[in-house]
């Protein structure tokens, strides 16, 4: 097993590049919880009904030294420099990036803690990464990757503090469809994991990334499968394809299915509500193995995100299209490139249903190896793509303009369903019979998203009792409100 010093000695970046990264990096402050009666001490946060941890600042010890070495090199140094840039873009003074050594499993972006220091306890209203860290996670590179993900959440909240919550109750995975707000938040954070793997100097993480290391007994565990797929799927653009599952599965089982049909695209609405798709968009736009170029890559996007904070955002705001339009205003060249990435990565789905249909028509002969049919399709399809990209670059407001707002209904205490992204198991969970469910999907594929529940009723013509029940389910979820995952 490599020690932290061995990892540092295996550096593959030049000294000049390392200096350029670290020169602009925020300080990594390390916090430990105060333990009282074997429990983390918590106190009410000012002006809130919630509790916040009481902490002390760690300034010595082997783990602290290992974390500071991480902060000076490789991916951790790079994301700390980006966090410094995020602070400056948001108009905050250069400060400290806080890491809270959690006693609980998992990783979170949190805000606010009580700091015991110099014989006094004071409230610090700053963001922190809440993460379980030990020598093993530093040694195998998992700290570097997960810290980058959670710090991505912190950066987003610095730049866009008014990020709204969505209505989906579905547990989020790289491959699941939730809502646009969750997908935006998690997709943004997940692309930093790919960036971490591009920049890592950790030999074990590089070996895992190359497929040379892995634990066969735990590979099928859902969280491990999700972690692997969010990297591979992001790079290979798997998530734009329609999610599938065995016939007869319930909605929750369908949401956990990591299988895709490479002959069918997701709809534009489904893509915008899938964090794996959004992580691919951000990764292709921003990531680079040249650490010295990261600031120039991310600065325009950071400015666009911060500019979005001046708008009134809610659960009906189409976040990604708004970001693309804002980026086009802030930095026209970057905006044009982002629109091209969105159009091409989505196989045309975010530009027009007709282009997506033309793209999908080429999948069957391609998958069958039918060159006589497939090859003649390529030149006109590429010409259509080029024209669609140019048209959308000239009029960014056209991006995803055919995507209608979500129509949320409460199927059960743990399942909310959007009629514009639902698959058959979700519609059945709402109480629709088989024929009505199939008719719903057919109408949506043929004529596009439903504009409202009334539009759904006019086009699908459900039984009167079903229509009344759906209206009650819509009212029930509206009363329940958005699902604040943090």
Per-run averaged pLDDT (10 residues), the chain, 486 residues: 34 35 71 94 90 96 97 96 96 92 83 94 96 95 96 97 95 94 97 97 93 72 83 96 90 90 97 98 97 96 97 94 97 98 97 95 96 96 96 96 97 96 96 97 96 97 96 97 87
What pLDDT sits at residue 25?
Answer: 66
Spatial CB neighbours of 47, under 8 Å, sequence gap ≥ 6 = none
Please give the C-alpha separations between residue 296 and each of 5, 71, 135, 301, in angstroms, as whole numbers: 31, 21, 33, 10
Reported as type and span, the H/E element at residue 108 is strand 107-117
Instruction: Report how far residue 178's alpha carbon sits from residue 141's, in angstroms, rounded to the nearest whole number.
Output: 29
Structure tokens at 389: 């990209």
Cα angle 474, 479, 485; round to 5: 100
* E-state strands within 249-376: 259-265
Please give the C-alpha separations between residue 369 and each of 260, 366, 375, in angstroms, as whole numbers: 19, 5, 10
Sign for the pseudo-dihedral over CA of 443, 444, 450, 454: positive
Largest CA distance in the chain: 79
Instruction: Report how far residue 446's alpha carbon sits from residue 267's, in angstroms, rounded to the nearest whole number.
Output: 11
Sign for the pseudo-dihedral over CA of 252, 258, 259, 260: positive
Q: Are strands 120-131 and 96-101 parallel, antiparallel or unpaired?
A: parallel
pTM over cut 0.85: yes
Q: What are the helix (H) ranges across 309-400?
A: 319-330, 332-345, 353-361, 363-367, 371-394
What pLDDT sits at residue 18?
Answer: 36
Instruction: Report how far residue 14's alpha carbon sits from residue 290's, in angstroms, rounded to the nearest whole number.
Output: 11
Reported as type and span, the H/E element at residue 42 is strand 42-44
Q: Average pLDDT over the chain, rounded to whole?
A: 91
């Amino acid at each position: 097993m490599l020690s932290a010093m061995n990892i540092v000695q295996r550096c593959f970046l030049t000294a000049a590049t390392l200096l350029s990264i670290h020169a602009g990096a925020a300080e990594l402050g390390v916090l430990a919880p105060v333990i009282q009666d074997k429990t983390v001490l918590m106190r009410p946060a000012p002006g809130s009904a919630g509790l916040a941890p009481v902490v002390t600042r760690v300034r010595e010890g082997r783990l602290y030294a290992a974390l500071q070495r991480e902060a000076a090199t490789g991916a951790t140094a790079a994301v700390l420099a980006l966090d410094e840039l995020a602070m400056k873009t948001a108009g905050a003074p250069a400060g400290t990036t806080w890491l809270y050594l959690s006693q609980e499993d998992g990783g979170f972006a949190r805000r606010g803690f009580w700091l015991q220091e110099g014989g006094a306890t004071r409230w610090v209203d700053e963001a922190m990464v809440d993460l379980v860290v030990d020598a093993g996670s530093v040694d195998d590179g998992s700290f570097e990757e997960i810290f980058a993900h959670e710090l991505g959440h912190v950066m987003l909240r610095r730049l866009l503090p008014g990020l709204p919550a969505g209505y989906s109750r579905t547990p989020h995975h790289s491959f699941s469809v939730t809502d646009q707000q969750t997908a935006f938040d998690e997709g943004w954070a997940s692309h930093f994991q790919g960036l971490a793997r591009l920049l890592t100097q950790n030999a074990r993480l590089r070996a895992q990334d190359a497929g040379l290391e892995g634990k066969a007994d735990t590979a099928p565990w859902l969280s491990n499968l999700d972690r692997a797929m969010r990297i591979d799927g992001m790079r290979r653009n798997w998530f734009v394809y329609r999610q599938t599952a065995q016939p007869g599965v319930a909605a929750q089982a369908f949401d956990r299915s990591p299988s895709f049909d490479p002959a069918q695209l997701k709809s534009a609405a489904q893509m915008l509500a899938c964090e794996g798709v959004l992580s691919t968009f951000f990764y292709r736009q921003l990531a680079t193995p040249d650490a010295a170029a990261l600031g120039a890559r991310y600065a325009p996007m950071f400015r666009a995100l911060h500019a979005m904070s001046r708008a009134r955002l809610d659960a009906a705001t189409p976040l990604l299209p708004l970001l693309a339009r804002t980026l086009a205003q802030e930095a026209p060249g970057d905006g044009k490139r982002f629109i091209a990435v969105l159009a091409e990565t989505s196989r045309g789905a975010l530009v027009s249903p007709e282009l997506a249909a033309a793209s999908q028509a080429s999948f069957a002969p391609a998958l069958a190896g039918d060159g006589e049919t497939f090859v003649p399709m390529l030149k006109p399809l590429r010409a259509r793509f080029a024209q669609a990209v140019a048209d959308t670059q000239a009029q960014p407001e056209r991006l995803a303009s055919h995507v209608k707002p979500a129509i949320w209904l409460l199927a059960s205490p743990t399942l909310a369903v959007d009629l514009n992204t639902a698959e058959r198991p979700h519609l059945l969970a709402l109480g629709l019979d088989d024929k009505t469910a199939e008719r719903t999907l057919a109408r949506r594929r043929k004529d596009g998203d439903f504009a409202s529940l009334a539009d759904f009723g006019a086009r699908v013509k459900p039984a009167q009792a079903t229509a009344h029940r759906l209206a009650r389910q819509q009212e029930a979820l509206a009363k329940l409100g958005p699902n604040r995952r943090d």
